[in-house]
Amino acid sequence: MAATRSTSLAELAQTLGITVLTLKTYNRELMSRLGLGSRQQLIEWLLSEEAGRRDPLFRPP
């Protein structure tokens, strides 16, 4: 599933099979652990190379 800017939290939560409150809690906890201040920063971090290096399945080329 590719999330787009038009995907609402409700739609995303439904797709994941969780409640909106759970999704918000997960987002807040992840942002706190990474020291990020906004969902936009979280998205940018997830798309960054740093996120890939922290992925336990990541294999450098």
Residue ranges, the chain, pLDDT below 50: 1, 3-4
Q: What is the pTM of this model?
A: 0.62
Could you give the CA distance from residue 11 to residue 53 in angstroms, rounded to a whole number?
29
- Pick from 24, 30, 22: nearest CA to 54: 30
- E strand spans, 1-61: none
Q: Can you give the pLDDT at residue 37?
A: 93
